[in-house]
Structure 1
Amino acid sequence: MKAKTMRQTLLILIFLFTIPSTYSQSLRTYSINGYVQDKESGERLIGCYVFDPEKSRGILTNSFGYFNITANEGNNKIATHYLGYNDQSISLIIINDTTIIIKLTPAQPFKLDEVSIISSGFEAKLSRPQTGLLNLNSKDVKRLPSFLGESDVMRAIQVLPGIQAANERSTGISVRGGSIDQNLFLLDDAPVFQISHMMGFFSVFNNDAVKDIKVYKGDIPANYGGRLSSLIDIRTKDGNLQNVAVSGGVGIICSNLSVEGPIVKNRVSFIVSGKYSYLGLLYKRIESNVDLTFYDLNCKLNAVINNNNRIYISSYNGNDNSKIGMNANYHNNTLSMRWNHIYNPKLFSNVSLIYSNYRYTTSYSTETNNNSLNYSWNSGIQQITLKAEYNYYLNSNNTIDFGASTTYKNFMPGKLEGNKTVIDNITKSEPFSNRVVDEQRVQEYAMYISNQQKITEKLSFKYGIRASLYQDMGGHWVYKLINHQVVDSVYEAKNKTYANFFSLEPRIGINYRTSNNSAIKASYSYTTQQDQLIMKTNGGGPLDVWFPSDNNIKPQKSSQYSLGYVHYMLNNLLEASIDGYYKHMTDIIDYKDGASFLESSSVYTINKTSYNFEEQLRAGNGYSYGTELMLKSDFNKLNGFISYTYARSFRKIPDINHGQTYLSPFDKPHAFDVFLNYNATKRMSISANFRCQSGQVTTIPFYVIEMWGKALSGYSNRNEYRLPSYQRLDLSLTIKNKEHPGQYYHSEWNFSITNVLNHANIQYVNFVSSKENPNIINAKGVSMLGIIPSVSYHFNF
């Protein structure tokens, strides 16, 4: 019976795949394939819409600028739409499969006699069966008011509908009510586990090196997995194949410099882009014991072997050093080696070897007349992935993506070491409570297949499935917990598998064109997250700890349903959209009431240093829902958007909040955003960004009592209270220096003001017992940013 059902399912899939191709056999067809690239630099263009204007069908270039479109024998015409470039139309006489390189010319950024933008690509948005997908590039990021003189990728993403900053200090994000760890950040396919600098004020993504950003809020493609809420896919520039180009900038906190150019013209190129913060040097003039410095370095090599083969090697290296009371150092490394190969016009492949590493160390040292104390905390995670991805252009109505990957991960959750010396006539050392969480290793396998299929001129689907196997490997102590306390342990042999988690994750999206300028979209996605994160704060930060799912902590799972509608007006220059979603999550984790990260509640220990933090965690269910509205304008002189988001997020976890449903730390019901960019003249532009949203939830102490010589606090229900609403207005003025005909050097000044209204946005509350009466608790709200002016200078040649 089971075999019969499988045969029936297979026949149905074959039928769906072949209906459009059978219909098209009345005429002989051929493939028009190739790449779309920038005419001046040779940079491949991601997401360019290549289409047949007469038949109203088209395709987006993939992540490497490749496309394949089916054409009938004889006279044909193909055209392109890509934001920031002039539209192009090409006439062809097709007698066999044809390969072409389409070279697009960057459009003039501003012309007084133009009313509309150069090219919006609205047709692609109306046709793709995907909800919750947002596209950005480095130019979009620069349009927003800078923060302390810096254009920051994550600050730009935080203002998009459905996405909220964890807090004002953090570059971390909550997407549709999810937690900080539920977002997958990829830099040239390499995962980035820590995205912040300076304890959260800046992100690690250097905008000068960025080419394309895709933000998936709901319908994550089947070739990606491992997170519940979102995928942020960031691609860096390939390097100029034609000429050497230099760009950079100087701000009050950071400076950056990028150099790119050909090693072999039209064949091999490079780009090196770096950023360095000298804030620590300024601080040292005031306080010698304070240090705040960081740097980013992006490098990439791009080699065209021949028409069918291309190799990319890209790396990222980032480092932070801070010293404010304690020393902290955290380090990010990624390396991606990718090989593009075209087997034939219909089959494109990409094989990647990817390495990612994140480590951090904090240390503290103090000395008094009678004693000294020194300790350090180390943690990190390493990952190596080998994967193969394929795009098969079956016919004009079906594009099939499939592939497989294998990943090795090494988790180093934490190691606390130290010593204490007491001087009392005789110098002696006292024991220090060391804590060690054993290293853990994981092997993960995944495979996927999906198809984007056009059923009729109005109806299209994208459906697929991802299968993954997550295996915990031995070589460390494994704990058995009963009632959340360690009662036993066993040492598992190295490379022995002691826990397996298999997951099947279906994804489906539907798009229906209701008219030439509007469409309805719907999607369902099931995702699994095996990697877990313990966060010191809800905003996320460098001191967070990654660890794998195991016998005690199961993988998180999510089912998300989305429904949206998009409509274009005023000659497709004004976009109105509404998206609704419901997300149900299981096995999500949170701290138990009264948890202490470095304390164990069990009486069972292997030795004095063993520690199992899983005792402090509880798992349960959560759900979120919301509605996102946006009105976006793409006029040349005035562009931007207005958005409103209504979103709720809840959790219900045993042993937390007396087992009752409580608000997620990321529940912010209302968010209203306005971003406007006005090109006043050819040399001057003004931008403004205003955000007003609900305050963050918090738990407050009601009383303090003394018992057995200790002060014990009684707390409200979990996240029962909400801080005051958040309001912030940022302004920016950009003035380009006057240019002369034939001038190669271009420069501009940017003047920005952060928090123009100087609104005190409370980020958290400190609770302190009254000195007069210890039973009285005083609350003091803490805000992070007042009004901050900044200036920066940028250049390129």
Structure 2
Amino acid sequence: MKIWAFIILVFAADTVKSQGLAVSGKVLDSGSGEKLIGVTCYDSTNSKVSTSDSEGYYSFVSGNSPITLSFSFVGYKTVSKTFDKSGIYDIELVGGITLDEVEVNPEYNFSQLSSKAILRLPSLLGESDVVKSLQYLPGVQGGSEGSASIFVRGGSADQNLILWDDALIYNVNHLGGFFSVFNPHLVKNVQLYKSYIPVEYGGRGSSVIKISTREGSKEKYETTLDIGVLNQNLTFEGPIKKGKSSFIISARNSNLGVFTSLRNVLASSLSDENKISFYDLSARVNTDLGKNGQLVYSVFHGKDMYENIENFNKRLITNRLNWSNTVQSLKYTKYINPKFFFNSSVSQTTYKSSIAFEEEFIETKEGSTQALSNQIMDWAGKFKGQYAALPSLDLSFGAELIRHNFQPSYQNSLIAESEFRNEGVSTTEGAFYIGTNLRPTKKLNLEIGVRRSRLGTEGRDFNNWEPRVSIEFNPSSSYKWNLSYTQMNQYMHSLSNTGTGFNVEVWVPANAQVPPLNVESMSLGYQGSVDKSISWNQEVYFKNFTNSIMYREGENLSIFQSQDWFEKVNLNGRGRSWGIENAIHISGSKYDINAAYTWSKTEFMFAGVNNNQWFPFRFDRRHYLSLTGFYDINKKWEMNAAFLLQTGQAFTSPLGVRVDENQLPQFYYTSINNDRFPLYNRLDIGFSKTKITKRGNESKWSFGVYNLYNRKNPAYLDVELNESEQGSSYRIVPKAILPIIPFIKYQIKF
């Protein structure tokens, strides 16, 4: 009640004392009419810096009149305008300027990747990847070789809140992790929060990855066709009503089904057969409702299918794995006046996964089937309001409500099919929040907020306060200091196999036996720049994890998963992560270079595990170095390169081996994650040539090499057993799956 009383008092004070100037509006691309996200907006009159939000809106309140605002964005010409009266004003920026593509937001809170930056990075088989592009940012680390999973500041992959147009996505992997599900041709902008996380976000422990999709051109129709080694991609966009409403739709379909079928035919002597494929469809429709309102509908659906059939000892053994995501959202945004706007949305998310094992005797046609399917379906509603109360004070407030429905089922059949479905579990997750952005002086900016979150689950309710604080000090225009504190609670856990490649995961809610994960994060950072051509930042952080879980020794996700999953995990673990992140960006008229280095350490401790000693997180990497670069050779040719060097991931190495009475090897261990994979390093390089065809269409050839010097980075480790007169011994053998891989790709727009 005190929070809402404070809001009412601010509204009343502003009504009584209304003075100065209030301007707001949208920042648009002059060519397509699309709104631009993350545009730097500078009030030179009051030395105030802001950015356009995720809807492309900006807002300023000043005690002075008139005011001069400058709008600048990577790849666009800067626009400056002077305003002498309050109102809603749209700003159009003209593109065509070559500048840096990876931007650290001037408000420090998040890093931002443009769609152009994502498409320029060299990648596996030429397929640009939204999530893998984030692995080049400081504090963000990749998983196993080829995996699209990311680990932010010691957090596990399920601790990333991933939003697609404000709708939650659970599994972001295609092909078991080699690619992410996000189609880069539909993505406009990616924002990563990992230090201070605004109070509007919650439900995860480590980061927020906010993906905003393109609106589609409001001025003309355009089709883009990509033909690559891995898949085909077709994108179609254009106006529904010119200047007012538009659409964009994009579809991908993999070529792997063709390749694996051909391989199975040509290699008929092999005892196994593999089938693998994926597809996805993304679309967005948006329309302006009057001058100051917009309605947006977004939808995504993707599915992966894998099957392995092996002929062994007169038996057909079949392993199947399928998973799919379906996400849709409807969002309404409205500017009431230059000081106040709100948006509200409803969304629905469905994630399904299944794993099956079938065995059939070829002669008798008898056999057995064991299978596990898992589904989680969410319905969510959100509301957010933002009010520029005073020239030095902005308020944000809102609420969200999510209904989670978890439904696992298990099938076991010997002759006829029989199935039983475990009793489903439903939980309700809700939150309300209020945040303030206070500027007591021109050199000091404070963001203070609090979020009240709640989970209603079987047997118990959880209620938690989540305070957030960010302090930014700007002694001069060329450098700044930042200090932040964030507390988050995660009310669900992901259980998955820890192996590389194709695996299935099951999401389970916190309950009376397993409390939610709590994460506290603190960071101190410094940013500097020289003439906009060189910028750098350093940041130190510390994170504390409470109520972590992990599988008990010998346990893992299997088709025998049931509702008593919490009996297979160690509970109430503690974790800690700390590190220092460094990044530098150098840009010129024809080149762009980014370098990032992170030193970090992450470890956990569970009662009764590892002799009650701390042990490294599996993806604890002490050193992580990334380099990316772009060079415009001429108007047609472009070169890009990316390099990664990182400490190998941790794994549990056996201390020895003994043979039991059945002559089977039994490995024994003394500590967890006591060894490391070999040092990981890889260089990718790419070239592209853009030209105009005889019919006036823009075409582009891209080619390059993944893993240029053929580094054999292990994706997993195998243990080989050796028998001799002296007894049994073993050796650990690294297994690489991605050697040097050339690629070629063709794109045409018409």
Q: TM over 0.5, yes or no?
A: yes
The one-letter amino acid of 2:629's match is L
| 1:29 and 2:20 matched | yes
Query: 2:89 aligns to what?
Result: 100
Alpha-carbon distance in 2 for matches of 1:408, 1:707: 53
* Number of residue pairs aligned between Structure 1 and Structure 2: 729
SS state of the match for residue 712, structure 2? Answer: coil
Alpha-carbon distance in 1 for matches of 2:97, 2:537: 28
SS state of the match for residue 206, structure 1? Answer: coil
Query: 1:492 aligns to what?
Result: none
1:367 deviates by: 2.3
- Find 2:357's aligned residue among 341, 352, 364: 364
SS state of the match for residue 672, structure 2? Answer: coil
| 1:647 and 2:600 matched | yes
The one-letter amino acid of 1:576's match is W
Distance 1:308 1:592, change over 3 A: same
1:461 deviates by: 0.7
The one-letter amino acid of 1:590's match is M
Alpha-carbon distance in 2 for matches of 1:195, 1:353: 21
Whether contact under 8 Å (1:298, 1:317) holds in the other structure is yes
Whether contact under 8 Å (1:598, 1:613) holds in the other structure is no
Whether contact under 8 Å (1:178, 1:666) holds in the other structure is no
Query: 1:417 aligns to what?
Result: 411
1:92 deviates by: 3.4
The one-letter amino acid of 1:665's match is R
Q: How does 1:612-631 map to 2 (within 5 A)?
A: 612-619=564-571, 620-631=573-584
Query: 1:544 aligns to what?
Result: 505
Distance 1:732 1:751, change over 3 A: same
Whether contact under 8 Å (2:44, 2:67) holds in the other structure is no
Q: How does 1:19-168 map to 2 (within 5 A)?
A: 28-71=19-62, 75-94=66-85, 97-109=86-98, 117=99, 125=106, 128=107, 130-131=108-109, 133-168=110-145
Alpha-carbon distance in 1 for matches of 2:720, 2:611: 26
Query: 1:344 aligns to what?
Result: 337
| 1:248 and 2:225 matched | yes
The one-letter amino acid of 2:56's match is G
Query: 2:216 aligns to what?
Result: 239
Q: How does 1:180-259 map to 2 (within 5 A)?
A: 180-259=157-236
Distance 1:390 1:657, change over 3 A: same
1:716 deviates by: 3.5
Distance 1:301 1:142, change over 3 A: same
Query: 1:747 aligns to what?
Result: 699
The one-letter amino acid of 1:735's match is K
Per-residue CA distance 1:286-328 (angstroms, 9 max, x = gap)? 1153222111111111011212321000100101111234222
Q: How does 1:371-770 map to 2 (within 5 A)?
A: 372-412=367-407, 414-420=408-414, 437-473=422-458, 498-537=459-498, 543-569=504-530, 571-598=531-558, 612-619=564-571, 620-701=573-654, 702-706=656-660, 712-737=666-691, 744-770=696-722
SS state of the match for residue 620, structure 2? Answer: coil
Whether contact under 8 Å (2:226, 2:746) holds in the other structure is yes
Alpha-carbon distance in 2 for matches of 1:399, 1:224: 18
Query: 1:425 aligns to what?
Result: none
Whether contact under 8 Å (1:281, 1:291) holds in the other structure is no
Which deviates the most, 153-162 or 704-713? 704-713
Whether contact under 8 Å (2:101, 2:116) holds in the other structure is no
Alpha-carbon distance in 1 for matches of 2:196, 2:562: 41
Whether contact under 8 Å (2:628, 2:642) holds in the other structure is yes
1:542 deviates by: 5.1
Distance 1:86 1:707, change over 3 A: same
Query: 2:269 aligns to what?
Result: none
Alpha-carbon distance in 2 for matches of 1:739, 1:544: 47
Whether contact under 8 Å (2:29, 2:35) holds in the other structure is yes
1:374 deviates by: 2.3
1:202 deviates by: 0.6
Alpha-carbon distance in 2 for matches of 1:610, 1:527: 28
RMSD over equivalenced CA pairs, Å: 2.8
Whether contact under 8 Å (1:243, 1:261) holds in the other structure is yes
The one-letter amino acid of 2:678's match is P
Alpha-carbon distance in 2 for matches of 1:681, 1:390: 47
1:658 deviates by: 2.2
Distance 1:323 1:683, change over 3 A: same
Unaligned runs of 5+ in 1: 110-116, 422-428, 474-497, 601-608
Which deviates the most, 75-84 or 270-279? 75-84
Which deviates the most, 310-319 or 336-345? 336-345
Whether contact under 8 Å (1:575, 1:631) holds in the other structure is yes
The one-letter amino acid of 1:416's match is Y
1:58 deviates by: 3.6
1:411 deviates by: 1.2
Whether contact under 8 Å (1:49, 1:121) holds in the other structure is no
- Find 1:302's aligned residue among 267, 271, 286: 286
Alpha-carbon distance in 1 for matches of 2:701, 2:639: 12
Distance 1:72 1:453, change over 3 A: closer
1:275 deviates by: 1.2
Which deviates the most, 206-215 or 379-388? 379-388
1:707 deviates by: 5.3
1:218 deviates by: 2.3
Alpha-carbon distance in 1 for matches of 2:562, 2:206: 34
Alpha-carbon distance in 2 for matches of 1:242, 1:637: 30
Alpha-carbon distance in 1 for matches of 2:174, 2:504: 12
Whether contact under 8 Å (2:27, 2:57) holds in the other structure is yes
Per-residue CA distance 1:234-274 (angstroms, 9 max, x = gap)? 01011211111222211011111111111111222111111
Whether contact under 8 Å (1:107, 1:118) holds in the other structure is no
1:28 deviates by: 3.8
SS state of the match for residue 158, structure 1? Answer: helix
Distance 1:565 1:58, change over 3 A: closer
Alpha-carbon distance in 2 for matches of 1:793, 1:257: 12
Alpha-carbon distance in 1 for matches of 2:683, 2:402: 44
SS state of the match for residue 132, structure 2? Answer: helix
Alpha-carbon distance in 1 for matches of 2:153, 2:84: 49
Distance 1:14 1:338, change over 3 A: closer
The one-letter amino acid of 1:315's match is V
| 1:318 and 2:302 matched | yes
Per-residue CA distance 1:698-721 (angstroms, 9 max, x = gap)? 112221341588754312310001
- Find 2:261's aligned residue among 284, 293, 314: 284
1:14 deviates by: 10
TM-score (norm 1): 0.87
Alpha-carbon distance in 2 for matches of 1:69, 1:317: 38
SS state of the match for residue 280, structure 1? Answer: helix
Distance 1:269 1:372, change over 3 A: same
Whether contact under 8 Å (1:87, 1:118) holds in the other structure is no
